[in-house]
Amino acid sequence: MSFKYKNSNVQNIIEALQRANNPKIANIKYNLLASEQKIFRQQFENKKILVAGSGLGQDSLKLARFNEHVTGIEKFKELVEYAQKFQRQLGVANVSFLQQDFMSTSFTDLSFDISVLNMGTICNFSMNDQKKIFTEMMRISKTFYFSFYLAGHYHTEQRLQMYQQEWDHILTVKEFCISNDLGFGSTGISPEDLKQMSYDLGYSICFLPLNEFSMMGCLTS
């Protein structure tokens, strides 16, 4: 199952992202984002970074503190404009926000040292689309970092608690997939499946722990 990215969902996405970055409302996701940033800080610095699905811009602006330049790309113009406004307010110069689809970008091969897809976004897509994302990110960057949610009933229950803080909508659980009435769908993934997919595409992968229900994958050629 995948998130049906429609223009009618944009305001709901903005509101959910605002809540996700507010520790008083969504402390589970907020702590997860902090764990992601800790790993990024440990793994790389002074690099050219692409943030796929840059949302409201918070993660891109944090990465800019210790990297040469960060480019954030988003599918929706409203999100790009929100991030650009936030950037101007903070006066950060080494960040660019562009409207692009991260499954098919306009960048030339190896334009970036690192590409990032965080917040478990990879889990919003079908396996075929995940393969497309892997292929495109590895075309334009040397290394691809992405966070993902683990499959399993316990992990799904923990993820459900996180979404209940973020989304003000009816949530439905089926197996390891959590969906809501807006068309959002997120499915847990096993590291074994990601290893096989990476191997089939000709990439190497390693994993870093984030919390009890998610991990960070690191893809290299």
pLDDT along the chain (221 residues), means of 10: 55 88 94 97 98 96 98 96 97 98 97 97 95 98 98 97 89 94 89 98 98 98 94
Residues 6+ apart with CB under 8 A from 194: 148, 205, 217
**Spatial CB neighbours of 207, under 8 Å, sequence gap ≥ 6:** 191, 215, 216, 217, 218
Give the tokens for residue 164: 């209940």
What pLDDT does 121 receive?
95
Query: Which pLDDT belongs to residue 8?
Result: 56
Cβ neighbour number for residue 126 with a 10 Å cutoff: 12
Question: For residues 44 and 53, what is the distance between their CA atoms, to the nearest angstrom?
Answer: 20
What pLDDT sits at residue 218?
98
> What pLDDT is recorded for position 1?
39
202: left (phi over 0), alpha (psi -120 to 50) or beta: left
Structural domains present in the chain = 7-150+189-220 (3.40.50.150)
The conformation of residue 65, written as its DSSP 8-state character, comes to G
Structure tokens at 218: 């690191």
